Amino acid sequence: MEFRLLGAVSVATEAGVLPLGPAKRRSLLAALLLRPNHPVPVDQLTAALWDQEPPARSRGVIQGHVSRLRVLLAGAEADMYGVELVTQGTAYVLRMPESLLDAHRFEELVTLARGQRAPADAVAMYQEALSLWQGPALTGAYPSQSLQAAAQALEELRLASVESLAGAYGRMGEHARAAAVLRAEAGAHPLRESLSAALMRALQRAGRRTEALDWFHRTRRLLADELGVDPGRELADAYALALRGAEEAGEDESEEAGGSGNRNGSGLNGRRRHDAVDGSTVAAPPAAAAPAAVSATIDLLPRMPRGFHGRAGELTALSRAAAGEAPVCLVTGPAGVGKTALVTHWAHRNRDRFPGGLLYADLRGFSETGEPALLEVLREFLLALGVAPRRIPESAGAASALFRSLCAARQLLVVLDNARASEQVRELLPGGARCVTVVTSRYRLRGLIASDAARPVPVDVLEPEDSTALLAAVLGTERVLAEEVAARRLAELCGGLPLALRVAAARLADQPEAQLSAMCAELSDESRRLSLLDVEDTSVRAALRLTVRRLPADAARQFAHLGRHPGRYVDRYAAAALADTDPATAEAALDKLTAAHLVVRAGPDRWTLHDLVRLYAHDLDAGAEALPRVLDQMVATALAAADAAEPGDESCFALPADFRAPRATREFADRDQAMAWYEAERDDLTLAAAAADSAGLHGRTWRIILGMWPQIVWRVRDGWTPLLRTALEAARADGDPRAESRVLALLGWVLTEEGRVDEALVHLEAAPVLAARACDTRGEATALINLSLAQAALGSPDEAAEGCALAAELAHSVGDRHTERLALCHLARHRLDAREWQAAHETAVAALDLEGPAEASVAARVLLLTAIGEALLGMGDEREGIRRLENAALEAETCGYDDGAVRALGALLRVSADAGLQARYDTAMVRLMSRT
């Protein structure tokens, strides 16, 4: 749990940010957090919530907000963290560990940083402290005088920390980084002389004297215009330092930078004038500054985006990427994620960093109107830089060279928006060491990273809190707060995609009487969602269409087929099956789709699609055979996994006559790999079975579910009953009695393990009869074993033992040693229940020796070792019995077989009160029950 004042007033929990509600409640919480563990009188809280005369029922309002805060904290289990909101007389106290408060941690880190001797350690601590800030302090609270004063105090501490961070960089000799840290803050606080002075010193020491001098004059003018005062001593000293550095460099530097003075002291370089610093006469700034002053009027940026919200992390990442010498920043993300808005917002906010000008070009890489010619873009740039139309070269190469030469002495920003390919960008990169280029693209443009060391700044969908804030910016805070749950659901249905959120908000804004919950209900219909996210010339579907149109043919074909995948994740084998190709070709296409931000890599050989992208892909024509192909690939993979998990066991079903064998199937080296695949793919296999059932492919439905049997056996209490009922209905619809009997046997066993024995018996009694009719001897034997478990649970051990003995005979008659061993294993268990120790021991040993311990499955081996141990204890051989049970428990714990561990450890605890055994038993039981 974390309480936040450094940004929006909020409370973050593992489940998300608590919905604090209106500004007054946030103000109340802020006032309590500003004095944690101290009583805050009601009159102070009143002052925090109302600037003027409070309402007559102000105390009742405060009590209501306190009551609501208590409910929110209780729902978040705040007491587990030592947090409690209590009444103390006529005051309230928020009792809490102060380490949970971001402002407290910030102040602690700043104090620690100040005490560091090594500047690198100080830098690390200052950076960690400043990273806690998510925006202006106490955002969202009522702007009362007391809270504004507290916010200003926190802001002062933050700015002092920024100055200290820059100082630490300076002690490390990293003056350029110090300047980068200071520039943004100095621009945001232009009247704070200490920031401007620190920035000037950093620029001077980084060898950028002209910029330092320019910054002084800019600040001097602002102080005179806004406050009517002259610069103070600190700023004047920084100016004198910059002047001394400029004079030492000599007039040659001025001429190199484009100065036009002469060497005899006349002209601009030779002039002297009075600057209002301390009454002294100082030299005029060098002529090199003149072009920057002229070019500062160059501004081709689009207007500042409206309704921009959040993106603090991305803005910080962009600022970091823009630091250094001639950086190329590559802002990438999917269509509609807000790349242009982010860059435009950042550029406007940082315009003072670029006195040489701000250039912008829309390269229209994903536009209906086509891309502009290179010479067309260069011509616009050159005209902006003051080149006469007749002097602009006619060839793109010559124009590019002229552009680079003009940028060499400037400090400017070049924004290249909507680039499609790296080659579209390279000839537009400026030549100046102090220029910054920001490129936006839906593609990753790896070529630009390789050739020009472009620094990636990925942009992803918005977090839920920022998504709802974007909705509030369009619809109004009151409307969103009135339906907070619906607003979060709406953000979820839009997948956090800003374009989708803005379209949904535009529809709602046009209908003031409409409820957000009604829009949610409409968007929940996947068949209509993309159509609803379409207004005039703004559309999620149109944005995606333009991206897909630019894809190579193989990637476009693969993308269309991905829409037919029934699950959330796809690997190269499934992708290959969908597109009827091989895994290597499918992976190459997936890589291109990843570069285009149409799919997201979720792990090794694992990709996923954003929900809206998936819906768009589903609407593309991929052919009717894509779904059956991928279902058959899943069936084949499940069989391969079962074979690796339970080697030597027979296949639980035959392949259908119309089975489409995939070109390649995933291979599993051992049981661990197979079980890991089952665990990772369980949800997608469930979705695949549902898709097969909806499509009327009943034979695929029950095969996919039965193919999961090793995991069902391994995690029997994991809630498999609904899925197995689906398999049962599909087997009956498919008219396959053999499949029906096998599903009945498995379902009945699961129900028995869940304690629903009477319900299980109905299925288990029918299973062996159906298997016999289908001449499925192995299935009949398995059904009899499972039936015996239900009979034993109902108190009929003799009947259960008889069924297991018959099952062993049937399995032996067809050479199925795996099922024979399983039957003997359960027979031994029934004889243990009947206290027939010697017979139980002989049966378990015979089962264990049937195929040799090395070949037995882990589960069967653990159960047999446990049975042998229990039988030995019953026969009086306690030492050997304990040894066998300990071996069984260790093997089960090592393999993660919690059910087996519980059985073996439980048997040990019946003869030992060892605390270590009890702790192991409790651990295994907790894991087992957590999946029940």
pLDDT exceeds 90 at position 1 = no
Q: What is the DSSP letter of 232?
A: -
Alpha-carbon torsion (165, 167, 170, 176), positive or negative: positive
Contact by Cβ (8 Å): 747, 763: yes
Bridge-based pairing of strands 534-535 and 538-539 is antiparallel
Distance separating alpha carbons of residues 154 and 160, to the nearest angstrom? 10
pLDDT higher than threshold 50 for residue 90? yes
Q: Is 19 exposed, middle or buried (0-12, 13-18, 19+ CB in 10 A)?
A: middle
Bridge partners of residue 553, in order along the sequence: none
Q: What is the pLDDT of residue 687?
A: 95
Looking at residues 249-270, what average pLDDT do you find?
32
In this predicted structure, which of 39-48, 380-389, 455-464, 485-494 has the lowest mean pLDDT? Answer: 380-389
User: Residue 921: its pLDDT value, please?
Assistant: 85
Position 252 scores a pLDDT of 32
Cβ atoms 164, 185 nearer than 8 A: no
Please give the pLDDT value at position 624: 83
Those residues whose C-beta lies under 8 Å from the C-beta of residue 757, and which sit 6 or more positions away, are 751, 790, 793, 794
Question: Confidence band (pLDDT; 50, 70, 90) for 292?
Answer: very low
Ranking 402-416, 585-599, 853-867 by mean pLDDT, the lowest is 853-867
**Taking residues 471-488, what's their average pLDDT?**
90
Identify whether the C-beta of residue 475 lies closer than 8 Å to the C-beta of residue 508: yes
Would you state the torsion angle of the CA atoms of residues 641, 647, 651, 657, taken in this order, to the nearest 10 degrees? 60
Distances (CA, A) of 516 to 105, 467, 519, 915: 38, 14, 5, 56
Order of strands across the sheet that contains 328-332: 357-362, 412-417, 436-441, 328-332, 455-458
Outline where DSSP puts E strands in 224-368: 272-274, 281-283, 328-332, 357-362
- Please give the single-letter amino acid code of residue 4: R
> What is the pLDDT at residue 766?
95
- pLDDT for 297 equals 58
pLDDT band at 899 (very low <50, low <70, confident <90, very high): confident
The label of the residue with tokens 């805070």 reads: 477
Q: What is the DSSP string of 99-145?
A: GGBHHHHHHHHHHHHHT-SSHHHHHHHHHHHHTT--SSTTBTS---H
- Tokens encoding 551: 């894809």
- Torsion over CA: 163, 169, 172, 173 (sign): negative
C-alpha–C-alpha distance, residues 753 and 859, integer Å: 15
In this predicted model, what pLDDT tens digit does every residue of 762-785 receive, in sequence order? 999 999 999 999 999 999 999 999
Tell me which of 40-49, 224-233, 400-409 is least confident. Answer: 224-233
Positive or negative CA dihedral for 675, 676, 681, 683?
positive
- H or E segment and range at residue 182: helix 175-188
Q: Kindly state the percentage of the chain with pLDDT values over 70.
A: 93
Lowest-confidence segment of 84-93, 261-270, 433-442, 481-490 by average pLDDT: 261-270
Q: What is the mean pLDDT of residues 455-467?
A: 91
Q: Could you tell me which of 766, 841, 780 has the C-alpha nearest to residue 809? A: 780
| CA–CA gap between residue 277 and residue 197 (Å, rounded) | 13
d(CA 555, CA 561): 10
Counts of helices then strands in the chain (DSSP H, E): 45, 18
CB 786 within 8 A of CB 822: no
CB atoms under 10 Å from CB of 775, counted, come to 10
| Total residues found in the chain within this entry | 932
Of 316-320, 537-541, 611-615, the range with the lowest mean pLDDT is: 537-541
Cα separation, 878 vs 355, whole angstroms: 88
In the chain, % of residues over pLDDT 90: 45
Report d(CA 843, CA 826) in Å as an integer: 9
Residue 221: the pLDDT is 84
Q: By C-alpha distance, which of 631, 721, 644, 719 is closest to 675?
A: 644
pLDDT at 807 over 80: yes
Among the residue ranges 641-650, 687-696, 866-875, the one predicted with the least confidence is 641-650
User: In the Cβ-directed half-sphere of 572, how many Cα atoms lie within 13 Å?
Assistant: 16
CB atoms within 10 A of CB 675: 21
Q: Is the pLDDT of residue 45 over 80?
A: yes
Q: What is the pLDDT of residue 296?
A: 38
- What is the C-alpha to C-alpha distance for residues 177 and 172, in angstroms, rounded to an integer? 10
Which token pair is 703?
Answer: 């095969």
Let me know: does 105 contact 128? Beta carbons within 8 Å: no
For residue 911, how far is the Cα from the chain centroid?
Answer: 50
Instruction: Compute the half-sphere exposure of residue 512: CA atoms within 13 Å on the CB side of its CA.
Output: 2
- pLDDT tens, 528-582? 999 888 887 678 888 898 889 889 999 999 999 999 999 999 999 999 999 999 9
* Encoded tokens for 825: 């294993």
Q: Would the pLDDT of 251 be above 90? A: no
Tokens describing residue 786: 């499972």
Judge whether 120 and 298 are in contact, CB under 8 Å: no
**Which residues have a Cβ under 8 Å from the Cβ of 49 and sit 6 or more positions away?**
24, 27, 28, 31, 58, 61, 62, 142, 144
Confidence of residue 680 (pLDDT cuts 50, 70, 90): very high
N- to C-terminal Cα distance for the chain? 28
Residue 855 has pLDDT above 80, yes or no: no
- Token pair for 71: 């409910």
Give the whole-angstrom CA distance, residue 904 versus residue 919: 14
Q: For residues 389 and 345, give the distance between their C-alpha atoms in angstroms, rounded to a whole number.
A: 31
Lowest pLDDT segment from 162-176, 252-266, 326-340, 826-840: 252-266
pLDDT at 851: 61
Distance CA 823, CA 808 (A): 5
* pLDDT of 269 strictly over 60: no
The sign of the dihedral angle between the CA atoms of 757, 760, 762, 766 is negative
| Cα–Cα distance, 309 to 311 (Å, whole number) | 7
CA distance 876 to 256: 101
Question: What DSSP state is assigned to residue 456?
Answer: E
Say whether pLDDT at 442 is over 80: yes
State the alpha helices, DSSP H only, in 646-720: 671-694, 698-706, 709-714
Burial-class residue 395 by CB neighbours within 10 Å (0-12, 13-18, 19+). exposed
Percent helix, strand and coil across the chain, each to the nearest 5: 60, 10, 30
Is the pLDDT assigned to residue 274 strictly greater than 60?
no
Please give the helix or strand (H or E) that residue 905 lies within, else none: helix 898-909
CA dist., res. 620 & res. 617, Å (int):
5
Q: Which residue has the higher pLDDT, 254 or 157?
A: 157
pLDDT mean over 62-81: 88
Lowest mean pLDDT among 103-107, 271-275, 600-604: 271-275
H or E element that contains 412: strand 412-417
CA distance 432 to 410: 6
State the pLDDT confidence band at 853, using cuts at 50, 70 and 90: very low
Distance CA 249, CA 79 (A): 65
Lowest mean pLDDT among 151-165, 288-302, 690-704: 288-302
| C-alpha distance from residue 107 to each of 101, 125, 198, 374 (Å) | 10, 11, 22, 52
DSSP state of 563: T
| Residue 244 pLDDT grade (very low, low, confident, very high; cuts 50, 70, 90) | low
- Which residues, 6+ apart, have CB-to-CB distance to 617 below 8 Å? 559, 560, 562, 563, 609
Read off the DSSP letter of residue 853.
Answer: T
Return the closest-CA partner of residue 201 out of 236, 242, 161, 250.
242
CA 688 to chain centroid, in Å, comes to 25
Residue 74 has pLDDT above 90, yes or no: no
The dihedrals phi and psi of 359, each to the nearest 5 degrees, come to -105, 145
Q: Using CA atoms, how far apart are residues 765 and 787, in angstroms rounded to an integer?
A: 7
Provide mean pLDDT across the span 729-758: 94
pLDDT computed for residue 930 by the predictor: 67
Rounded Cα gap, residues 752 and 758, in angstroms: 8
Separation between Cα atoms, residue 44 and residue 273, nearest integer Å:
55
